Amino acid sequence: MSLLELRQVDKSYRQGGLFGPREAVRVLDRASLDVGRGECVALLGPSGAGKSTLARIALGLEWPDSGEVRFDGMPLLDDRGRMAAATRRAIQAVFQDPYGATSPRFSAFEVIAEPLRYAGLSGAPLRARVRELAEQVELDPGALSRLAHRFSGGQLQRLCIARALALQPRLLVLDEAVSSLDLTTQARVLALLTGLRRRHGVGFLFITHDLRLLRGFADRVLVMEDGRPVEVDDPFAPEPAIPALARLQAAMLPARPGLRPGPSRGHKAPAPQ
């Protein structure tokens, strides 16, 4: 049984207005998706393809117009749009902007401690758990008294990951979670996430527009095409049948442009030293 299941989900938004008519624009069109236990499913697509809409629906933050969303075999939300407390703990998210996702008044300690306090932890057990989580994301527990916003973007994002892991989730929705980081920090955070997933068996829904991030990270790759995720075997295969994937491939820069052979421009790979 899948951990997260979306079946034939539709979602439209009313757009326009002000001077023109407001029209319903369909963002998700019979979208289906599964994430298994401990599985990393990447959802890829250009800007505006509906990835974040799908993520919000998977997190129970938005209600689909039609279709089914299930977590662990049960409807994600009840008839009145409420989520069971255990499910709320089991599904956590990390978003693109760690500065927007944390209070500038909070110390690093408070950022991680916040969900734990809600869960009733306090005193020495709270301090020990915060320290343990900081160590898991390779942050120096000695720096926890500093204001979180004095951290670098990469450190702050690791703090957000520690906060998301605090209640031992079973599913982590990572919506462009490493997109704002530099390449080295991205690689470090992705390696860290892979380690955490293997150790704790957490399922990932990893949303990105950046194809390069998928190498060695995702178990399965889905690409948003016409409002629904389409599974692809090899996202790097040349001449993909899915136009959105072809555009994402074209947007991928070579890691070392000078080394790409290009006879028409006379580029040559340097001779070995």
Ligand X SMILES: Nc1ncnc2c1ncn2[C@@H]1O[C@H](COP(=O)(O)OP(=O)(O)OP(=O)(O)O)[C@@H](O)[C@H]1O
Which residues sit at the interface with ligand X, rule CB under 6 A? 13, 15, 27, 45, 47-53, 209
| Inter-residue contact 49 to 224 (CB < 8 Å) | yes
C-alpha 165/C-alpha 132 separation (Å) is 11
Q: How far is the CB of 54 from ligand X (least distance, A)?
A: 7
In the chain, the amino acid numbered 62 is E
Q: How far is the CB of 13 from ligand X (least distance, A)?
A: 3
Please, which residue, 25 or 269, has the CB nearer to ligand X?
25
Please, which residue, 48 or 258, has the CB nearer to ligand X?
48
Q: How far is the CB of 244 from ligand X (least distance, A)?
A: 10
> What are the tokens at 109?
């300690």
C-alpha 12/C-alpha 268 separation (Å) is 50
Please, which residue, 66 or 122, has the CB nearer to ligand X?
66
By DSSP bridging, strand 4-16 and strand 22-35 are antiparallel
Residue 36's CB: how many other CB atoms inside 10 A? Answer: 15
Of 71, 59, 91, 53, the closest CA to residue 228 belongs to 53
C-alpha 84/C-alpha 259 separation (Å) is 54
Half-sphere exposure of 42 (CA within 13 A, CB side): 26
Q: How far is the CB of 27 from ligand X (least distance, A)?
A: 4
Q: How far is the CB of 208 from ligand X (least distance, A)?
A: 9
Q: How far is the CB of 245 from ligand X (least distance, A)?
A: 14
Please, which residue, 62 or 138, has the CB nearer to ligand X?
62
C-alpha 160/C-alpha 139 separation (Å) is 11
Angle (CA) 160 162 164, round 5°:
70
Of 142, 75, 60, 79, the closest CA to residue 108 belongs to 142
Please, which residue, 49 or 108, has the CB nearer to ligand X?
49
Please, which residue, 50 or 64, has the CB nearer to ligand X?
50
> What is the three-class DSSP state of 111?
helix
Q: How far is the CB of 209 from ligand X (least distance, A)?
A: 5
Please, which residue, 13 or 236, has the CB nearer to ligand X?
13
> What are the tokens at 116?
């734990």
